[in-house]
Amino acid sequence: MPHRQGGKITSSHTTVTELGSRVVDFLQKLETVSKISLGPIQNLRGNGGGGIWAVKIIDESHCILVTVAQSGTVQDLRFYTDHPQQAKLALARFIRDNDWDLKFGRLV
C-alpha cells in the first residue's frame, strides 16, 4: 500500500489504498484544498468487492468526507476547503473521468 505524508496531509496515518492515493494526489493539487486527513484502512472480510473502485462524497459540518472503497477495503479521507462546492465538483469530474463509481451522501 502506498504512503502519503507532508504537504497538505495532517494525519498521523500515512498508509492509503491505491484508490485513496490517487484521490489524495488529486486533492493536493487543488488550490482550494487547505488540508487532508487520512483515516485508517478497514478490511471488510468476506466481501472481496471485485475490481470495483467506488468513491462516496459526503458533506460534514467543517469538511468534506470522502470514502474510498476497493477490493474489500474502505478508507475515509477528509479534506478542508473554503470553497466546498468548487472542490467537490472538481473531485467528481476527476472520479468520473477515471470511470470509478461515484456516490453522494449525507450524514445521518
Higher pLDDT, 79 or 4: 79
Q: What is the C-alpha separation between 74 and 54, in angstroms, rounded?
A: 9
Domain span at residue 83? 18-106
Tell whether 1 is covered by a domain: no
List all residues 6 or more positions away from 40 whose beta carbon is below 8 Å from its beta carbon: 13, 75
**Cβ-contact 64, 10 below 8 angstroms:** no
CATH number of the domain that 31 lies in? Answer: 3.30.70
Supply the pLDDT for residue 12: 65
Supply the pLDDT for residue 44: 80
Tell whether 11 is covered by a domain: no
Q: What percent of the chain has pLDDT over 70?
A: 83
Supply the pLDDT for residue 14: 75
For residue 55, give Cα distances in angstroms to 6, 7, 12: 23, 23, 22
Tell whether 94 is covered by a domain: yes
Supply the pLDDT for residue 49: 56
Q: What percent of the chain has pLDDT over 90?
A: 69
Q: What is the domain count for the chain?
A: 1
Length of the chain: 108
